[in-house]
Structure 1
Amino acid sequence: MPPATRPPAVSRRSLLAGGLAAGGLWATTTRAAAVDGLAQPATVISSPPRQWGPDAPISPLPDPDILVLDPGFGNLAYANANIRLAWRGGGWLEGPAWNSEGRFLLLSDTIRAVQYRYLWENGAISIFQPYSYNSNGNIFDNEGRLVSCEHGLRRVVRREHDGSCRVLADSYGGAPLNSPNDLAVHPDGSIWFTDPGYGDTIVEGHPDAPGGPANRNGVERWALDGEVVTQFGGHRRQEDHVFRVDPATGEVRAILTQKQLADPNGIAFSPDGKIVYVISAGPGPGQDGHGGDLHIHAGDVVGSELRNLRPFADMMLNGHQLIADGMRVDVFGNLWCGAGGPLGLCGVVVYNPQGRMIGRIRLPRGVSNLTFGGPKRDMLFMCAGDALFTLQVNTQGAAPS
């Protein structure tokens, strides 16, 4: 989408929230639905709109909001499964990560700075960490240790098996990180993470020092329990990067710079670790210009290097530019990506390894991030604003997820 057509006053969060603000498409679909009345199965674009929750009417099968665009997706979708609202009650849910040993899903509530635990057996929600420093992305590494991106403390941390917390990255080139956003574990054990500036705000994390790019007027102050934390006074937004943490030495090295890939966000590896996918998102706080190109990019992983960075998918659908955020890969190499956009288009889009969109999952709002979980890793968990949706699928997530 050309920069001139992007509404500069709209935040990335409102774009990702998608459906509810898409008046034009909503009006079109409701008029179309009115012609047929209730003859058609209820979907997220029907009038009245589809209902959710335990008291909702029984949905038809196959689910009308699971759209097969290519025969390849028909083998991945399970025709006897409905999209289900599993829980609603967060602030802004992010970073879903499945713990195989504990049989639970970990969730970040970036705005409320809480981590939740969703139990597989009964769907119960409990608090996993009462204060998470505005954590965003999470993943369990190859040894089952939790690795989290913390906006508030601008760092990536790992919870060791003995319960201790190890800081994997909090600075680069002598300067603090911005707000580590999403991360992925390579088969060699290295941690790759993105560091845009979306958490450099009072709402989602830790604002820049007065005069910094994301706090130019100096009116925001970092405070904890009413006290200004002076050790954060020098933190200022730097250039965005994609970083790699070496599994042997712990060295934090830049894989991509802002010039090579603007505003990196979601990141994932192919099942064999030979390809890395990175989303180039919109502008972050205090950033001039239009930000990234909103596309998914792919690069070849050769040892500890990334080579041959190239476009993979443009996230265009029916003439609309979707807003990609988080993504995961299944065992066949298909990329499942959360997408914001107009109602009827937002939800999840699925690309095959060749970059062809093969399927969609329609939801009433955009999806910030997703993962595969359950004992067989065949349950898709989707974070959408304050809600968690699930869908049984006929594939498995590539571990770890």
Structure 2
Amino acid sequence: MKLLALAFALSTGQADSISPVTAPAAEAVLISRQFSFTEGPAPDREGNVYFTDQPNNQIWKYSTGGQLSLFLDSAGRSNGLYIDRKGNIIACADADNELWRIAPDGKKTVIMKDFRGKKLNGPNDLWIAPKGGIFFTDPYYQRNYWTRKQGEMEGQKVFYLPPGRSQPVIAAEDIKKPNGIVGTPDGKYLYVADIGDNKTYRYRIGKKGRLSDRILFCPKGGDGITLDERGNLYICGNGISVFNPEGVQIAHIPVPEKWTANACFGGKDRDVLFITASTAVYTVKMAVKGVE
């Protein structure tokens, strides 16, 4: 009966009230509305979440105890973030279209600054594979703080930065405008949201970051994406749409903002969905856990 009710709710657009992934009666809880535009949430090992306020050039921290604090000013206009096994923040530093490594004490190191001498469009989101390689998306969004008015790159691609290297390689160029990106914990598959063509694809990850066997995962694109322990994919945009491993939508999490940019699982038990949505950040108590 529960599955039948869920199917009916999805077909009639009432799935917000019946969700197999959120805790019973859970709703998006406003944490703060003090930002210009929030992005890039990423949890550390303890479950604290770091996120960016890109227009204000800042990285913030939301602790497992519910406290907000400013972690870093002058953050390279960072967008997407991911935390490596050593606790460093790897950031898509949008000011000069670089990748940065930010140590726990705030020390910054540029780990990638160009592609074959050309400035990238604007690294947007990233995921670190189990062996340390970095996949990142490179769409072009004109920024008002850039002096340039067009990109140096042809097309908008997915790149892979091998461990210990400073030059990325092209991982995929068969996408119109890649945005959100996340891989499975076993390192076998990579999901990429094509916000330009309203589709999300899944690739098989091979040796040296090679991607193959692209399939259309679902006919919906979006901004940031993340995965839970059941293999469900969360696609941000108009709230958060949740798709099971077969690409079937099973839930929608409403967020009372004009745009939901990104989300990740945080908290001590990884069962709190932390959401960056325009000028605000929210949390939702979940019935599942994340895999970041």
Instruction: Provide the residue aligned with 2:170 in structure 1.
Output: 254
Matching residue's letter, 2:289: Q
Q: Distance in 2 between matches of 1:373 and 1:384?
A: 16
Counterpart position of 1:154 = 97
1:355 aligned partner:
247
Distance 2:26 2:249 in 1: 21
* Aligned-pair CA distance for 1:250: 4.4
CA 1:390–1:362 in structure 2 vs 1: closer, same or farther (change >3 Å)?
Answer: same
* 1:78 CA displacement: 1.2
Whether contact under 8 Å (1:65, 1:362) holds in the other structure is: no
**Given that residues 271 and 333 in structure 1 are in contact (C-alpha distance below 8 angstroms), is that contact kept between their aligned partners in structure 2?**
no
TM-score (norm 1): 0.65
Deviations 1:118-152 (A, max 9, x none): 2221x332211111121100010133211000111
- Tell me the residue number matched to 2:131: 188
In structure 1, how many angstroms separate the alpha carbons of the residues matched to 2:182 and 2:167?
20
Amino acid at match of 1:329: L
User: Gaps spanning 5+ residues in structure 1: where?
Assistant: 1-63, 215-235, 282-291, 316-322, 340-345
Deviation readout 1:279-334 (Å, 9 max, x if unpaired): 112xxxxxxxxxx312111111112210011211112xxxxxxx610010112111
Aligned to 2:8: none
Q: Does 1:298 align with 2:202?
A: yes
Deviations 1:86-115 (A, max 9, x none): 1111100000111234x5321101111111
2 CA distance for matches of 1:117 and 1:297? 31
Q: Is the contact between residue 116 and residue 167 of structure 2 (CA under 8 Å) also seen in structure 1?
A: no
1:171 and 2:114 aligned: yes
Stretches of structure 2 lacking an aligned partner (at least 5 in a row): 1-13
Q: Offset at 1:359? A: 0.5
1:165 Cα offset (Å): 2.6
Q: Deviations over 1:192-251 (max 9, x none)?
A: 1011111x321xx5241xxx526xxxxxxxxxxxxxxxxxxxxx4553221111114444
Distance 1:276 1:397, change over 3 A: same
| Residue identity matched to 1:148 | A
* Residue of structure 2 equivalent to 1:141: 84
Aligned-residue offset at 1:116: 1.3
Specify the alignment match of 1:244 in structure 2.
160
Please tell me whether the aligned partners of residues 72 and 106 of structure 2 are also in contact (alpha carbons under 8 angstroms): no
How far apart in 1 are the matches of 2:111 and 2:89? Answer: 12
Measured against aligned partners, the alpha-carbon deviations of 1:2-29 in whole angstroms (never above 9, x if no partner) come to xxxxxxxxxxxxxxxxxxxxxxxxxxxx
- 1:213 alignment counterpart: 150
Do the aligned residues in 2 keep the contact of 1:65 with 1:363 (CA within 8 Å)?
no
Q: Which residue of 1 aligns with 2:192?
A: 278
Aligned with 2:55 (options 102, 111, 126): 111
Number of residue equivalences: 277
Q: Which residue of the partner structure matches residue 393 of structure 1?
A: 286
CA distance in 2, matches of 1:197, 1:207: 14
In the aligned structure 2, how far is the partner of 1:389 from the partner of 1:280? 24
Structural mapping, 1:1-400, within 5 Å: 66-68=16-18, 74=20, 76-101=21-46, 103-121=47-65, 123-160=66-103, 164-198=107-141, 200-202=142-144, 205-208=145-148, 212-213=149-150, 236=152, 238-257=154-173, 260-281=174-195, 292-303=196-207, 304-315=209-220, 324-339=222-237, 346-365=238-257, 366-399=259-292
Task: Write the distance in 1 (CA, Å) between the matches of 2:251 and 2:25.
Answer: 16
Structure with greater strand share of residues: 2
Q: CA RMSD in A?
A: 2.0
Judge conservation of contact 1:95–1:107 (CA < 8 Å) in 2.
Answer: yes
